[in-house]
Amino acid sequence: DTGVSQDPRHKITKRGQNVTFRCDPISEHNRLYWYRQTLGQGPEFLTYFQNEAQLEKSRLLSDRFSAERPKGSFSTLEIQRTEQGDSAMYLCASSTGLAGLADTQYFGPGTRLTVL
């Protein structure tokens, strides 16, 4: 257990429905990242937060995706009008925000999304 938790662990939904995932980072960590991972691939960056500010978003993050981190604590990732191509593992990671080696990312267990 890395100290990063995600909820739910598994989500099955029908195409066109909206889904929301939650990530609780390690409490003293300033940075929070969202990644998407499909089978046989490494994690792909989606977006990251420094405290409550969303500083960068990948082109992978279409307008159906939105992420928030109110008060710089937990974060949510919402996918609207889900498509079958959204089926993947969604990983959250947090880090201290310190420079260099100290900025190791600690990953949560992930949320496995299946869109039928």
Partner 1 sequence: KNQVEQSPQSLIILEGKNCTLQCNYTVSPFSNLRWYKQDTGRGPVSLTIMTFSENTKSNGRYTATLDADTKQSSLHITASQLSDSASYICVGSSGGSYIPTFGRGTSLIVHP
As measured in angstroms, the least distance from the Cβ of 81 to partner 1 is: 27
Specify the residue, 4 or 77, whose C-beta has the smaller distance to partner 1. 4
Specify the residue, 19 or 93, whose C-beta has the smaller distance to partner 1. 93
Specify the residue, 6 or 82, whose C-beta has the smaller distance to partner 1. 6
Q: Which residues pair with 20 in a beta bridge?
A: 78
As measured in angstroms, the least distance from the Cβ of 16 to partner 1 is: 26
Left if phi > 0, otherwise alpha if psi is -120 to 50, otherwise beta: which for 100?
A: left
As measured in angstroms, the least distance from the Cβ of 45 to partner 1 is: 5
Please count the other Cβ atoms lying within 10 Å of the Cβ belonging to residue 43.
19
As measured in angstroms, the least distance from the Cβ of 43 to partner 1 is: 5
Binding positions for partner 1, rule: CB under 8 A: 2, 4, 31, 33, 40-45, 48, 55-56, 91, 93, 100-101, 103-110, 112
Contacts of 91 (CB under 8 A, 6+ apart): 6, 34, 35, 36, 37, 43, 107, 108, 110
**Cα 35 from Cα 93, distance rounded (Å):** 8
